[in-house]
């Protein structure tokens, strides 16, 4: 028997309509290259999204065509998020930090027909354009008077196009599984892979991430996504803010700038900020140096890479800001888990809470997870057993764009292999220990580099730490600790290595540590263990062998 309820499709268009009706006067504050503090409201964004749709129609686009962006977080990018997807085209957000060859591959693989980009990326686009045969129009996200000079053919000015376009547009009635957006993962091996989101997955993800056990956005919040709209949808905030009526503060090109972030938080009354650990390190060190505050900030959501406990503690102890540790992936829209505390946990001792808070938290309703051994057998949720982490759910992708089903990350029974190694405790809290390819195996036993890195950065003289496996005659591999010290302070080797004693199994303790000026990072800001391993491929451990 069929239910007799309305089958209203889950469309991003509905998010936009709802936000316009309900929260039309809610502010969107943006930093742009032209304006340090641009202000508009949801209604403006929606009105201009109608114009974006008309512009794309006039350019001759067909439903399903890809429209690329190379842009920071600001109101214009937000207009494109809605205008492109709701009109039935696919918003392809491109990460400008990728290597040139990867960018070429991505644009050509996606066959983007139009590219919208911030003026700051003009030199990059000029270099790429010769080799982008499918791109028919280039649109600079600028006003007419600020348009830069360029020899690029088919160049257009965004504000001029919008000015000429009608504000009336009839949004099409799309099926809820219509593709809405495309984002490529950086692909540390092989080519980047495209994740093709649809309207349904996007609405469910936005809905799920507003849950109180997840990011819990509400109308009293002002949200600052310091996570780029060009990678993993700025963790869904363009949609979840519109659902919840939260004021948005978009930092434009000033993502990693502690001074701008502090000014935005304090000036705009930001209550929730989202970012990767390095962003918060920059903000915390700015606050420390200047003695300034972030008095409105209630909580941060940290993910993308493991968040050291020391960052959480500094936020809490010095600034009264609570940190939620989360985990996710481009393939998961990206929310996979988030750490929130239960009532009984509030009375736990600090040391017990530390253990829980360093974990990546629970999967929200909508995501299922499991860990398996090398034979694919499910492992217990005892917080001890490590295994390959698999997930499935409403906002997890089921294949890569144009991969012709050739990827073995997707099981026949509908699970996606995340490429992460993790534990899950009896309360369902995820503990990411490594990426599969970064795992260190010593004498056949796994060692968690993330846990070691967290301990290393708890030392005040350590700015950044990474642990990699280097080859060892007897044990196959042993851990080597690589450290970037804080300026002017070279910490004592033995004191650092002493940090691990009693906190982890003895055989986990790195055999040696080296100081470097810089640790290599990927385009998405993660430590590039591949490069680091290459850098230390000939490293021979000089301490007595274990």
What residues act catalytically?
185, 331, 441, 446
Three-state DSSP at 255 gives: coil
Q: Which stretch binds ligand ADP (CB under 6 A): 172-180, 344-352, 378-386, 414-422?
A: 414-422
Question: At which residue do the structure tokens 């092989």 appear?
Answer: 190
Question: At which residue do the structure tokens 């936009």 appear?
Answer: 16
Kindly state whether residue 420 participates in binding ligand ADP, applying the rule CB under 6 A. Answer: yes
Alpha-carbon Rg of the chain, whole angstroms?
24
Left if phi > 0, otherwise alpha if psi is -120 to 50, otherwise beta: which for 414? left
> Between residue 477 and residue 516, which ones bind ligand ADP under the rule CB under 6 A?
none
Q: Which residues, 6+ apart, have CB-to-CB distance to 389 below 8 Å?
A: 369, 370, 371, 417, 418, 420, 421, 422, 430, 432
Q: Which one among 45, 68, 98, 306 touches ligand ADP, defined by CB under 6 A?
A: 306
Q: Which is nearer to ligand ADP, 237 or 418 (CB)?
A: 418
Closest approach of ligand ADP to the CB of residue 10, in Å? 23
Q: Which stretch binds ligand ADP (CB under 6 A): 83-91, 203-211, 302-310, 481-489?
A: 302-310
Closest approach of ligand ADP to the CB of residue 449, in Å? 10
Q: Which stretch binds ligand ADP (CB under 6 A): 198-206, 281-289, 519-527, 531-539?
A: 519-527
Half-sphere exposure of 222 (CA within 13 A, CB side): 18
Kindly state whether residue 360 participates in binding ligand ADP, applying the rule CB under 6 A. Answer: yes
Please, are residues 428 and 362 in contact by the beta-carbon 8 Å criterion?
Answer: yes
Sheet architecture: strand order including 387-393: 367-372, 387-393, 416-424, 430-435
Q: Give the separation between CA 213 and CA 226, rounded to whole angstroms.
A: 21
Q: With CA atoms as reference, report the closest residue to 388 among 421, 434, 360.
A: 421
Question: At which residue do the structure tokens 């600079």 appear?
Answer: 140
Closest approach of ligand ADP to the CB of residue 79, in Å? 24
Question: At which residue do the structure tokens 């209630």 appear?
Answer: 298
Kindly state whether residue 418 participates in binding ligand ADP, applying the rule CB under 6 A. Answer: yes
Buried b or exposed e, range 429-456, using 16+ CB within 10 angstroms: bbbbbbbeebbbebeeeebbbbbbbbbb
Kindly state whether residue 297 participates in binding ligand ADP, applying the rule CB under 6 A. Answer: no
Q: Which is nearer to ligand ADP, 439 or 499 (CB)?
A: 439
Q: Which one among 524, 528, 532, 541 touches ligand ADP, defined by CB under 6 A?
A: 524
> Between residue 126 and residue 185, which ones bind ligand ADP under the rule CB under 6 A?
185
Q: Which is nearer to ligand ADP, 435 or 546 (CB)?
A: 435
Q: Give the separation between CA 110 and CA 288, rounded to whole angstroms.
A: 44
Q: Which two tokens stand for residue 453?
A: 């890195």
Q: Which is nearer to ligand ADP, 216 or 328 (CB)?
A: 328
Please, are residues 48 and 269 in contact by the beta-carbon 8 Å criterion?
Answer: no
Distances (CA, A) of 473 to 437, 469, 545: 20, 13, 9
Closest approach of ligand ADP to the CB of residue 431, in Å? 9
Kindly state whether residue 361 participates in binding ligand ADP, applying the rule CB under 6 A. Answer: no
Q: Which one among 186, 201, 233, 271 touches ligand ADP, defined by CB under 6 A?
A: 186
Kindly state whether residue 303 participates in binding ligand ADP, applying the rule CB under 6 A. Answer: yes
Q: Which is nearer to ligand ADP, 340 or 360 (CB)?
A: 360
Kindly state whether residue 330 participates in binding ligand ADP, applying the rule CB under 6 A. Answer: yes
Q: Which one among 114, 140, 203, 432 touches ligand ADP, defined by CB under 6 A?
A: 432
Closest approach of ligand ADP to the CB of residue 528, in Å? 10
Q: Site for ligand ADP (CB under 6 A): how many residues?
A: 22
Q: Which one among 55, 132, 162, 232 touches ligand ADP, defined by CB under 6 A?
A: 232
If DSSP states are collapsed to H, E and C, what string results for 509-542? CCCEEEECCCCCECCCCCECHHHHHHHCCCCCCC
Q: Which stretch binds ligand ADP (CB under 6 A): 28-36, 157-165, 248-256, 321-329?
A: 321-329
Kindly state whether residue 356 participates in binding ligand ADP, applying the rule CB under 6 A. Answer: no
Residues that bind ligand ADP (CB under 6 A): 185-186, 232, 303-306, 325-330, 360, 418-420, 432, 435, 522, 524, 526
């Amino acid at each position: 028997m069929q239910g007799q309820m309305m089958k209203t499709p889950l469309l991003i268009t509905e998010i936009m309509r709802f936000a316009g009706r309900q929260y039309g006067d809610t502010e969107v504050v943006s930093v742009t290259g032209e304006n340090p503090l641009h202000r508009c409201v949801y209604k403006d964004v929606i009105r201009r999204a109608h114009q974006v749709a008309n512009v794309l129609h006039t350019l001759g686009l067909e439903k399903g065509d890809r429209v690329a962006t190379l842009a920071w977080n600001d109101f214009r990018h937000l207009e494109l998020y809605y205008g492109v997807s709701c009109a039935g085209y696919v918003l392809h957000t491109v990460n400008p930090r990728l290597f040139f060859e990867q960018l070429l591959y991505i644009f050509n693989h996606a066959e983007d027909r139009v590219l919208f980009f911030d003026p700051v990326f003009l030199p990059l686009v000029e270099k790429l354009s010769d080799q982008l045969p499918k791109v028919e129009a280039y649109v600079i996200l600028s006003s007419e008077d600020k348009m830069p000079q360029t020899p690029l053919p088919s160049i257009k000015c965004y504000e001029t196009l919008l000015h000429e376009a009608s504000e009336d547009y009839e949004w099409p009635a799309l099926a809820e599984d219509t593709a809405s957006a495309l984002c490529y993962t950086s692909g540390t091996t092989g080519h980047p892979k495209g994740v093709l989101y649809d309207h349904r997955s996007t609405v469910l993800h936005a809905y799920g991430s507003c849950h109180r056990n997840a990011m819990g956005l509400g109308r009293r919040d002002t949200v600052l996504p310091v996570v780029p709209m060009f990678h993993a949808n700025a963790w869904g905030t363009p949609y979840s803010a519109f659902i919840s009526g939260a004021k948005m503060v978009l930092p434009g090109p000033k993502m990693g700038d502690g001074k701008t972030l502090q000014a935005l938080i304090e000036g705009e009354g930001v209550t929730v900020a989202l970012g990767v650990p390095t962003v918060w390190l920059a903000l915390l060190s700015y606050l420390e140096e200047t003695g300034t505050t972030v008095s409105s900030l209630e909580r941060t959501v940290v993910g993308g890479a493991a968040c050291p406990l020391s960052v959480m503690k500094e936020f809490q102890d010095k600034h009264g800001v609570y940190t939620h540790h989360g985990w996710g992936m481009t393939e998961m829209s990206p929310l996979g888990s988030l750490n929130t505390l239960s009532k009984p946990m509030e009375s736990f001792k600090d040391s017990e809470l530390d253990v829980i808070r360093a974990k990546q938290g629970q999967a929200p309703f909508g995501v299922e997870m499991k860990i398996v051994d090398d034979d694919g057998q499910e492992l217990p949720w005892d917080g001890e057993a490590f295994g390959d982490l698999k997930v499935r759910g409403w906002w997890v992708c089921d294949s890569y764009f144009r991969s012709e089903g050739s990827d073995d990350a997707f099981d026949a029974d509908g699970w996606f292999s995340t490429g992460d190694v993790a534990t899950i405790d009896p309360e369902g809290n995820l503990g990411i220990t490594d990426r599969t390819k970064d795992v260190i195996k010593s004498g056949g036993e796994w060692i968690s580099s993330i846990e070691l890195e967290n301990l290393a950065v708890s030392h005040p003289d350590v700015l950044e730490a990474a642990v990699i496996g280097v080859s060892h005659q007897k044990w196959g591999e042993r851990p080597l600790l690589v450290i970037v010290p804080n300026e002017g302070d070279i910490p004592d080797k033995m004191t650092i290595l002493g940090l691990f004693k009693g906190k982890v199994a003895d055989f986990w303790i790195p055999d040696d540590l080296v100081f470097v000026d810089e640790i290599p990072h990927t385009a998405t800001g993660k430590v590039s263990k591949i490069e680091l391993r290459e850098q230390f491929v000939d490293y021979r451990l000089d301490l007595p062998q274990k």
